[in-house]
Structure formats: C-alpha cells, structure tokens
C-alpha cells in the first residue's frame, strides 16, 4: 500500500484554516445544557458473562435528549476509586458482548465502553442503542443524516452522548472523577476529541487514527467511505455544498482540538486511505496543550499501531493518571 498523503515533514507543520462558526461554543453550550436538564441517574447491573476475574457490568445512562444509552463497565475487583478510561467505538460498531474488551481493566483501570447510537451492525458483535430520530433523504450510512442543519445532524446526538457519559462516570462510586481519560479509534478518536474539548473533567485524550477531522479536505481527497458518503450525497444535491459544510463545521475535530488544553496522545498511519494523515495532523497541530505527542506508523493503514499502540498508550497514561 502506498503513502496516501503529504510527506511527513510537511504534515508536521500543517495547520489548515478550517471553517469555524461564530456560534460554535454557544451551540455546544446550549446543546449540552438542554440534554443535562433531561438527564436521569445512570444504572449498573451485573452482566451475563462467565468472566469472574474482573467485574463486568451493564451500563445505562442519559444521553442526548435524555435518551438512554447503553455501555459496558469492566473493572478490577478492588475496593478503591480507580482511574477511568472511557472508550468510544469505530464507525459501524457496537458495544458487542460483555467481556470482549478486557485489556484496560486488566491493566488496573475502570474501562467504560460506550455504545454508539444507531450503529452496531457494520462489524463486531452488535449494538444495543437505537437512534430514535429521523432524517431527510441521506446517503446510506450515518455521515449525511441531518446534514442540512447542525441541530439535526447525527453527530450532535453522538457527541452529546459522549460528553454526558463523562458526567455519569463522575458519579460512579468506584471511579476517580479526577482521573478520567477518553480514547477511541477512527470514529471513536473523533468522538474523544469532542468529549475532551467539551467536558472539563477529562484530563487526558488518546485519539487513535481519529476520524471526523478537516471535513472539506477529507471529503475531497479520501478515496472511499465513510467520507465518500458525503461526496455521493453532494453529487446528487449539487446546490447543498455550502449548507452541508457549514453544518459539518460544528463537528470538525480540528475545531474541537483548538479547545483542548489537556494531555493528548495521538496516532496516525501514513498509508491510511480511510482517514487521511493530513486530517489527523490538522487536528493535532491545533491543540492548545504543550503536553502532546503523536505516534507515527509509517507503513500501516487504518489499523494503525494495533496492540503495539495500546502498549504505548498504557505507558503514557500511567505517567499522567
């Protein structure tokens, strides 16, 4: 597989001008306040699993509009407040079967895995959270659902779910509210950027080959889906480009990165044809924090660093939490 983007020397200095709406902060402040006003307490119940070396629990919490979102909480059997890693999932995946993701809990963390509303049928072993909202005509997938207005866009609901999950975790008695990190690969990386920018309780963010950054460049240059969904939509609706990209500017990872002042560890793969390396560096190079690092996987595609990168994350996070 060939390199898919600019040379690394150019990527390291790349700081594109990405459109940012004047009411970006107000939009998110009002969105979160509206959903927080409708929130009810999270619930935890034992998960049906043969695993007994760790505690695995079924989580339900209030997300966008007070709607109930599902997840898994996996943790060590220790009677103390522990640091937390919240993980968001890649495009099309769901929370799956309890016990599938044990490595963070085995490393001593409370691991909280958020189901992504409406997804869970693209790969893995399924999801359990519906997205009870309709949309105007959209291309197959999630990228163009509600794309004509930021109030209606699919990721408004997902990002709100992600932020309100941090609220819920802060109230869990075995979780240390002062030691919460967020992470995720691809779509999960993009969601983690939004959560870190919008919730002051996040102290570290680890976006792994993060998706949903620099929409304008990504839609124009990425050869396939999911960004291709937007290109197909605009190839039919030829007069809606400006309107669509205005909506997307409220959800661009670059605009969230501009607001992140906490510790950050990114990863990028230079042969990635799903998430262009330039879109990852566009976000990384706009971070406010001085405590930032990016792992570059020169000869990998969208799989990035795999488990080797998780080992890098554990070492990095142990120094901060």
Q: Which CATH topology does 8-318 take?
A: Rossmann fold (3.40.50)
Full strand arrangement of the beta sheet holding 110-114 = 43-46, 55-62, 68-75, 110-114, 82-88, 175-185, 204-208, 263-269, 292-297
Domain borders along the chain are: 8-318
Annotated active-site positions, please?
186, 272, 302
SS3 166: helix
pTM: 0.98
* pLDDT per residue rounded down to tens, the chain (321 residues): 688 899 999 999 999 999 999 999 999 999 999 999 999 999 999 999 999 999 999 999 999 999 999 999 999 999 899 999 999 999 999 999 999 999 999 999 999 999 999 999 999 999 999 999 999 999 999 999 999 999 999 999 999 999 999 999 999 999 999 999 999 999 999 999 999 999 999 999 999 999 999 999 999 999 999 999 999 999 999 999 999 999 999 999 999 999 999 999 999 999 999 999 999 999 999 999 999 999 999 999 999 999 999 999 999 999 999
Check residue 1 and give its pLDDT: 66
Q: Report yes or no: 261 and 288 within 8 Å, Cβ to Cβ.
A: yes
Check residue 194 and give its pLDDT: 98
């Amino acid at each position: 597989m060939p390199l898919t983007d600019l040379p690394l020397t150019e990527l390291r200095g790349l700081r594109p001008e990405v459109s940012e709406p004047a009411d970006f902060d107000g939009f998110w402040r009002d969105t979160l306040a509206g959903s927080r006003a409708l929130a009810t307490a999270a619930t935890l119940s034992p998960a049906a699993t043969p695993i007994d070396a760790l505690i695995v629990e079924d989580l339900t919490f209030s997300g966008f509009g007070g709607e109930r979102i599902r997840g898994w909480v996996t943790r060590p059997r220790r009677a103390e407040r522990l640091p937390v890693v919240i993980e968001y999932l890649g495009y099309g995946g769901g929370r799956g079967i309890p016990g599938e993701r044990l490595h963070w809990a085995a490393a001593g963390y409370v691991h909280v895995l958020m189901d992504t509303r409406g997804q869970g049928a693209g790969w893995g072993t399924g999801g359990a959270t519906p997205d009870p909202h309709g949309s105007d005509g959209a291309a197959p997938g999630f990228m163009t659902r509600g794309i004509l207005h930021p109030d209606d866009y699919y990721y408004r609901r997902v990002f709100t779910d992600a932020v309100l999950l941090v609220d819920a975790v802060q109230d869990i008695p075995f979780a240390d509210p002062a030691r919460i990190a967020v992470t995720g690969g691809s779509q999960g990386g993009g969601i983690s950027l939004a959560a870190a920018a919008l919730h002051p309780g996040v102290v570290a963010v680890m976006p792994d080959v993060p998706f949903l950054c620099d929409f304008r460049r990504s839609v124009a240059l990425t050869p396939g889906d999911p960004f291709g969904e937007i290109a197909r939509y605009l190839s039919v609706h030829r007069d809606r480009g400006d309107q669509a990209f205005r909506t997307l500017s409220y959800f661009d990872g670059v605009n969230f990165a501009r607001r992140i002042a906490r510790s950050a560890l990114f990863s990028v793969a230079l042969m990635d044809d799903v998430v262009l390396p330039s879109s990852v560096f566009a976000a990384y190079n706009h971070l406010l924090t001085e405590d930032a690092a990016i792992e570059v996987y020169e000869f990998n595609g969208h799989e990035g660093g795999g488990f080797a990168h998780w080992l890098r994350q554990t070492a990095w996070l142990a120094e901060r939490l």
